Structure 1
């Protein structure tokens, strides 16, 4: 199964920053990383971002 997280840079950042262990970074370093990520994306860009999953578990609320 492929999960598509692509979209505007802000959406991709939210998805990726929640998936990777960035807790080790202090607030200033995390903000700098986010600025760097967002400023490197072209204005109005749609970024491709997908993950392939082999095992997927879901839960209903």
Structure 2
């Protein structure tokens, strides 16, 4: 597998992980209301979206 394909796969995995994290954050909000885990889930999701964005930019610049 070449480098560009691996970076694309990593980008997709980051987006999937971020989406799952956002679903967990919404489930936490619905079940527990305001909870410290909600902030942690949003931070993880934002970090994954940011990583996917940076990987996408890096892949396109090559």
TM-score calculated relative to the size of structure 1 = 0.32
TM-score calculated relative to the size of structure 2 = 0.32
Higher helix share: 2
Higher strand share: 1
